[in-house]
């Protein structure tokens, strides 16, 4: 079980497992991402920028630059893009770096390196991407519709974690007792509150050891099937249309956003 990940290490396919805890966490999470977008009444152009950034991440291995976004979407100016990015930041769809105002992350992706690296073995055009947390890493294959190889490490001991997702199920993983801790303590932005607590662990005892010194270790330990269910539920629909008015207002002149 501790050898290189491969056919001989498979421990059986793990599909998404809808336990009571996993369902509860999903309903909490829905108000953070997809649900939050709908509730915010996101405008068509904001939705176009959000979608463009997410679709470009795996192709570029990073967020697209502002110039790339303006050019690709035919925006009128950098100021217009800035207003849109600030709005997406305000609803926690992405996170702008305080100092540089660059796109630091757009859930589930991070431009800043993290310990969760996602590769796409069957997708030639794609580059490796960093995921914001363990759940985001598991959600990426569902969002982009491609198989994925996740490389991470135990947040307690640093031991390597490797997970293969094929056709929406985990088909191989090491180490054998891998679990996920899902922290539920959340403030304004997920990136600065609960994300850092959502990690893979090589075993349940290492979750317990890690939790001891944490300031607010509120959350749940999930097995890989439960974590996969949560990740699928959060991210599977994130690239589907969220603006109800996207089609009907395409020719409507854009008014200035007075906020």
Residues that bind Zn ion in the complex, under the rule CB under 5 A:
154, 156-157, 159, 202, 206
CB of 96 to Zn ion, least distance (A): 33
- In the bound state with Zn ion, the residue whose beta carbon lies nearer, of 35 and 159, is 159
Judge whether 240 and 46 are in contact, CB under 8 Å: no
Q: Measured from the CB of residue 154, what is the shortest distance to Zn ion in angstroms? A: 3
Q: Is the CB of 11 or the CB of 38 nearer to Zn ion?
A: 11
Burial class (CB in 10 A: 0-12, 13-18, 19+), 42: buried
Q: Are 82 and 128 in contact (CB under 8 A)?
A: no
**Shortest distance, position 156 Cβ to Zn ion, whole Å:** 5
Q: How far is the CB of 181 from Zn ion (least distance, A)?
A: 11
CB 242 within 8 A of CB 38: yes
Q: Which is nearer to Zn ion, 1 or 157 (CB)?
A: 157
Tell me whether residue 61 or residue 159 sits nearer to Zn ion (CB atom): 159
Listed residue (149, 161, 148, 150) closest to 201, CA to CA: 161
Beta carbon of residue 214, minimum distance to Zn ion (angstroms, whole number): 15
Count CB neighbours of 231 within 10 A.
32
At 156 the three-state DSSP class reads coil
CB of 159 or CB of 196, closer to Zn ion:
159
Q: How far apart are CA 219 and CA 118, in angstroms?
A: 24
């Amino acid at each position: 079980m501790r050898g290189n990940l491969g056919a001989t290490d498979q421990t059986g396919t793990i599909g998404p497992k809808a336990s009571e805890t996993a369902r509860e966490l999903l309903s909490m999470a829905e108000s953070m991402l997809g649900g939050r977008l709908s509730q915010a009444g996101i405008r068509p152009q904001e939705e176009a920028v959000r979608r463009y950034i997410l679709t470009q991440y795996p192709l570029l291995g990073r967020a697209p630059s502002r110039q790339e976004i303006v050019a690709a979407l035919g925006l009128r100016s950098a100021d217009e893009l800035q207003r849109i990015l600030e709005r997406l930041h305000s609803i926690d769809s992405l996170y702008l770096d305080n100092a540089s105002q660059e796109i630091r992350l757009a859930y589930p992706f991070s431009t800043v390196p993290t310990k969760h690296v996602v590769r796409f073995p069957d997708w030639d055009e794609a580059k490796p991407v960093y995921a914001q947390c363990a759940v985001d890493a598991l959600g990426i294959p569902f969002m982009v519709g491609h198989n994925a190889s996740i490389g991470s490490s135990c947040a307690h001991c640093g031991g390597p974690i490797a997970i293969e997702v094929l056709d929406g199920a985990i088909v191989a993983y090491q180490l054998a007792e891998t679990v996920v801790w899902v922290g539920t303590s959340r403030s304004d932005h997920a990136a600065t509150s609960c994300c850092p607590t959502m990690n893979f662990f090589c075993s349940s005892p290492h979750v317990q050891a890690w939790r001891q010194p944490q300031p607010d270790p509120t959350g749940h330990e999930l097995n890989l099937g439960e974590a996969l269910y949560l990740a699928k539920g959060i991210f599977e629909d994130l690239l589907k249309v969220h603006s109800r008015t996207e089609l009907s207002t395409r020719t409507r002149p854009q008014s200035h956003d007075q906020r």
